[in-house]
Copies of this chain bind each other. A is one copy, B any other.
Amino acid sequence: MAGDFTLKPVNPLDNIRIVLVETSHPGNLGAAARAMKVMGLSRLCLVNPKCAIDDEARARASGAVDVLDAAVLCGDLDGALAGTVLAAACTSRRRDLPHPDLTPRRAAPELLLQAAAAPVAVVFGSETFGLSNEQLGKCRWLLNIPTNPDYASLNLGAAVQVVAYELRCGLADRTLDLPEFTPASHEEVEGLLGALEETLVEIGFLDPAHPKRLMPRLRRFFARAGLEKEEVAIWRGIAGAARSRGRR
C-alpha cells in the first residue's frame, strides 16, 4: 500500500511558543494557559519559574490544564528559544533600548508567516522585574501593548491574552505566502554573534577591557536585518577570513 503523501498544512499557531520567564504567581501560569488555549495556542515554555504549577494554577487554567501539563521547563532563555527563527519580547515601553517598537497587531502577521515554516516565540518577563537587557537582547523584536499611560500595569495573564488574541485575529487575515528564504535559528544567530565578537577582539577593533556599546549595537543591527541561514554562513566566512589574514 502506498503511503499517505498528502502534505498537511501547518497550523502556524502550533509553531508559536509562549515563553514565560521567571513567573512568580501560579495564578498567572493558569491564566496564561487558558488565554493561550482559548485562542488556539498550545506551546507553553517556562523559563526558571519562581512558582509551582499548583492547585491555583490549575484552577485558573480551567479547561486548559492540558496546556499547563505539557509546558516545557527550561533553565534559561536560550533553551526556550532553541530552534526558533524569530523571538519577540513583550515589554512595557523602553525608551532606553533602540529596538524597533512594534504593537502585537503589527507584529502578528509576520509572526504567523514565519510560524508557517518554523518555530517562533513570544517572551514575557516576570511580574515584578520584566526581562533583563540581556534577555531582551536575545529577542529580535520588542512588542508594546498599547496601554493607559497613567496606569500601564497589565497583568501577565492579560498580556498573554492580548497577544494570543492578536495572533488568532491575524490567522484569519493571513495570506498563505511562505517566507522566501530560510531564516537562521536562534542558535545560529547567537553562534555567529559570538564568533564575530571573537574576531573583532582578534583584529583589534573591540577592546574586551572597554567594550563600550559595540556588541549591543551589532546585535541590534543583526536583529533588525533578520539573518537568513545562508547569510550566517557568509558572515562566518568573512569573520574567518579576517582572522586568518592576520596569521598568514
Contacts and interface: CB of A to CB of B under 8 A. Distances in A.
Contacts of A203: 238, 241-242, 245
Interface of A: 31, 34-35, 37-40, 62-64, 98, 100-103, 105-106, 145-148, 150-155, 157-158, 161-162, 165, 168-169, 172, 174, 176-177, 179, 181, 200, 202-205, 214, 217-218, 221-222, 224-226, 230-231, 234, 237-238, 241-242, 244-246, 248
B40 A148 contact: yes
B242 A179 contact: no
Give the number of times this chain occurs in the complex, counting copies: 2
A62 B221 contact: no
A98 B230 CA distance: 13
A98 B176 CA distance: 14
A42 B172 CA distance: 31
A225 B224 CA distance: 5
A245 B204 contact: yes
Contacts of A241: 200, 203-205
The 9 A-B residue pairs with the shortest CB-CB distance, nearest first, are: A225-B225, A205-B241, A40-B148, A242-B242, A245-B246, A203-B245, A158-B161, A203-B241, A224-B225
B158 A34 contact: yes
B225 A176 contact: no
A102 B230 CA distance: 22
A150 to B, nearest CB: 8
Nearest to A227: B221
Contact of A230 (B39, B217, B246): B217
Given A40-B150, A64-B151, 12 more contacts: A31-B158, A34-B153, A35-B155, A37-B151, A62-B153, A101-B179, A102-B176, A147-B168, A162-B162, A203-B245, A205-B242, A221-B225
A200 B245 contact: no
Most buried by B among A158, A218, A245: A158
A151 B63 contact: yes
Contacts of A98: 179, 181
Nearest to A235: B221
